[in-house]
Amino acid sequence: MFAESQRPLNVGFIGGGSGFITNAHQRAIFMDGTRRVTAAALSSNPSKAMELAGEWPYPIKGYESYQVMIEAESALPEGGRIDYVVIMTPNDAHYEPSKAFLEAGIPVMCEKPLTLTVAEAESLRDLVTRTNIPFRVAHTYLGHWTSQLARYIVRSGKLGCIRWVDASYLNSSIAIKSRKPGFPETLWRLNPEKSGLSNCGGDIGTHALMQLRYVTGLEVEELSAHLETYVPVGDDPAKRLDDHFTAYCRLSGGANGLVRASQISIGHKNDMRLEVVGESGSIRWSQEDSEKLIVNLLEESERVYWRGGFYDEDDFLGDMPDELKSSTAVPWGHAEGLNDAFARLHRAFEGDVRAYRNGNYEGADGAKGATVADGVAGLRFVEAAVESNRNGNAWVKV
Ligand SMILES: NC(=O)c1ccc[n+]([C@@H]2O[C@H](COP(=O)([O-])OP(=O)(O)OC[C@H]3O[C@@H](n4cnc5c(N)ncnc54)[C@H](O)[C@@H]3O)[C@@H](O)[C@H]2O)c1
């Protein structure tokens, strides 16, 4: 068998019904051969959970619930039990399972938004701080190599002082789903008890916010927000969650910015964009063309950095750290994509989990993915936006 240091990490799955997010995590876990899915509680319905585990394309241990999984896996010897768990349930089922796995000493990667409320998110942050158990929020798009390159360019001051940031995530999901039978009852994202205070802002606005914060290092200090509902979902105002979200933000360091999200923007698929404008240059990035980073410096020709491996000593990126240079998944000219972005998150988390098992884990590195503190920042942003919207778009401190 494997030496302990070589054995692949065992990963547990919780939830993941849509297939999309389960498959993306599963591919990412397998991509390096150093991690594998070994156990799963795939549904809130116990018999469905066992059925789905039985249909998995290779043998895994099926569990009726995450509670049964924790009990059974905790009783197994190291090497046989799960080394970390990925939580892919609707938003209302992030907090309790995350807390339970952490309390059992099991590292967690949890889907976004971290929880339903700031109070829950802060309680998880306190637990992570107290126990020093690895924890990540699965903000996918930080895993693109170009996101990491953009972070390097902005944070090393190559654009000068940042003036303006425009972060947006536009899609047409609610416009499309509103034409399907069962709408809106079958869509948990439009149910405040399952989704949280905001649908669109929490679901994809937090991705745009995270991209802004990750690349620039700036924080939203104050905001004025509009949360709008364009697709009719019934008469009860308490049940009307937004499908269109706009927040004008005052950022740290004197910059301003927009964080926008929309699920009614017909024609947009997963159109997430980031534009950062500094006093001497700007960068532009788009998720749908995720291997390209466009850089403009005043009085210089536009530079388009594309698919890695392009820098040389004379380029203004000549001082790029070796770790960033070597982290592209494929040689230049070949295509990376969403699965590689997810894999980069799991690769970094594997490092955290192995360090934790070896007793030398020093806490999450925010350069390699979203931390529990980033999850708290997402919830604070959403709560402030909801408060602003309720109060006539008043400016609210975050
Ligand atoms: N990072 C990303 O890019 C990304 C993309 C899509 C979805 N997500 C997130 O993933 C989460 C799930 O979204 P989805 O669209 O896949 O939802 P979904 O409704 O398609 O699937 C959720 C599954 O979780 C199961 N479930 C609910 N409670 C459970 C429990 N206690 N134990 C076990 N299983 C349980 C449900 O039965 C369902 O099968 C959400 O938080 C969403 O925000 C993230």
The enclosing domain of 106 has a CATH number of 3.40.50.720
Considering only CA atoms, which of 75, 15, 382 is closest in space to residue 200? Answer: 382
Residue with CA at minimum distance from ligand 1 atom 14? 18
The pLDDT of residue 152 is: 97
**Relative to the CA of 17, which ligand 1 atom is closest?**
39
Residue 327 alpha carbon to ligand 1 centre in Å? 29
Whether residue 245 lies inside any domain: the answer is yes
Q: What CA–CA distance (Å, rounded) separates 112 from 116?
A: 10
Per the omega criterion (within 30 degrees of 0), is the bond before 113 cis? yes
In Å, what is the CA distance from 203 to each residue of 142, 218, 223? 16, 21, 18
Whether residue 38 lies inside any domain: the answer is yes
Residue with CA at minimum distance from ligand 1 atom 39? 17
Residue with CA at minimum distance from ligand 1 atom 9? 111
Residue 329 alpha carbon to ligand 1 centre in Å? 27
Q: What CA–CA distance (Å, rounded) separates 28 from 360?
A: 25
Query: To the nearest whole percent, how much of the chain has pLDDT over 90?
Result: 86
Residue with CA at minimum distance from ligand 1 atom 21? 17
Whether residue 64 lies inside any domain: the answer is yes
3-state class (DSSP) for residue 137: strand
Q: What CA–CA distance (Å, rounded) separates 308 from 315?
A: 14
3-state class (DSSP) for residue 182: coil
Tallying the residues shown for the chain, one arrives at 398
- Name the pLDDT band for 310 (thresholds 50, 70, 90): low
Is residue 347 located within the same domain as residue 239? no
**CB distance 175 to 262 below 8 Å:** no
Is residue 108 located within the same domain as residue 166? no
3-state class (DSSP) for residue 128: helix
Residue 205 alpha carbon to ligand 1 centre in Å? 17
**Relative to the CA of 65, which ligand 1 atom is closest?**
32
Is residue 114 located within the same domain as residue 199? no
Considering only CA atoms, which of 111, 97, 28, 129 is closest in space to residue 11? Answer: 28
The pLDDT of residue 43 is: 96
The pLDDT of residue 2 is: 65
Residue 170 sits in a domain whose CATH number is 3.30.360.10
The tally of domains found in the chain comes to 2
**Relative to the CA of 96, which ligand 1 atom is closest?**
31
- Name the pLDDT band for 115 (thresholds 50, 70, 90): very high
Domain range enclosing 187:
146-334+379-390
Q: What CA–CA distance (Å, rounded) separates 347 from 244?
A: 34
Q: What CA–CA distance (Å, rounded) separates 197 from 84?
A: 29
Is residue 242 located within the same domain as residue 101? no
**CB distance 228 to 243 below 8 Å:** yes
Is residue 175 located within the same domain as residue 292? yes
| Predicted TM-score (pTM) of this structure | 0.97
Residue 23 alpha carbon to ligand 1 centre in Å? 12
Ligand 1, CB cutoff 6 Å, lining residues: 14-18, 21, 41, 43-44, 66, 88-91, 93, 111-112, 138, 140, 188, 203
Residue 21 alpha carbon to ligand 1 centre in Å? 8
**Relative to the CA of 45, which ligand 1 atom is closest?**
37
pLDDT, greater one: 242 or 330: 242
Is residue 208 located within the same domain as residue 269? yes
What pLDDT, in 10s, does the model give residues 23-54?
999 999 999 999 999 999 999 999 999 999 99
| Tokens 């090497």 found at | 79
Mutate to test the pocket of ligand 1, among 66, 68, 88, 140 (most ligand atoms within 8 A of CB): 88
At residue 343, φ and ψ (nearest 5 deg) are -60, -35
Is residue 183 located within the same domain as residue 330? yes
Q: What CA–CA distance (Å, rounded) separates 398 from 55?
A: 45
What pLDDT, in 10s, does the model give residues 167-177?
999 999 999 99
The pLDDT of residue 232 is: 85
Residue 4 alpha carbon to ligand 1 centre in Å? 32
Q: What CA–CA distance (Å, rounded) separates 178 from 6?
A: 49
Is residue 210 located within the same domain as residue 301? yes
Considering only CA atoms, which of 36, 78, 85 is closest in space to residue 63? Answer: 85
- Name the pLDDT band for 7 (thresholds 50, 70, 90): very high
Neighbour tally for 257: CB within 10 Å: 24
Sequence-ordered alpha helix ranges (H) in the chain: 20-30, 46-54, 66-74, 95-103, 118-131, 145-155, 173-177, 192-195, 200, 206-216, 322-325, 338-357, 372-390
Considering only CA atoms, which of 365, 349, 381, 347 is closest in space to residue 113? Answer: 381
Whether residue 112 lies inside any domain: the answer is yes
Q: Tokens in use for 166?
A: 């425009």
The pLDDT of residue 233 is: 84
**Relative to the CA of 188, which ligand 1 atom is closest?**
19
At residue 5, φ and ψ (nearest 5 deg) are -70, -15
Is residue 61 located within the same domain as residue 181? no
**CB distance 150 to 293 below 8 Å:** yes
Q: Tokens in use for 332?
A: 């230049």
Q: What CA–CA distance (Å, rounded) separates 57 from 64?
A: 18
3-state class (DSSP) for residue 207: helix
Residue with CA at minimum distance from ligand 1 atom 38? 17
351 pLDDT exceeds 70? Answer: yes
Whether residue 397 lies inside any domain: the answer is no
Is residue 150 located within the same domain as residue 131? no
Residue 16 alpha carbon to ligand 1 centre in Å? 5
Whether residue 395 lies inside any domain: the answer is no
Partner residues linked to 62 by β-bridges? 40
Give how far the C-alpha of residue 284 lies from the chain's centroid of Cα atoms, to the nearest Å: 20
Is residue 161 located within the same domain as residue 79? no
Residue 110 alpha carbon to ligand 1 centre in Å? 10
Pairing of strands 396-397, 135-137: unpaired
Mutate to test the pocket of ligand 1, among 22, 26, 98, 111 (most ligand atoms within 8 A of CB): 111
Residue 40 alpha carbon to ligand 1 centre in Å? 13
234 pLDDT exceeds 80? Answer: no
Whether residue 396 lies inside any domain: the answer is no
Amino acid letter for position 375: G
The pLDDT of residue 329 is: 83
The pLDDT of residue 121 is: 98
Residue with CA at minimum distance from ligand 1 atom 6? 21
At residue 6, φ and ψ (nearest 5 deg) are -100, -15
**CB distance 222 to 398 below 8 Å:** yes
151 pLDDT exceeds 90? Answer: yes
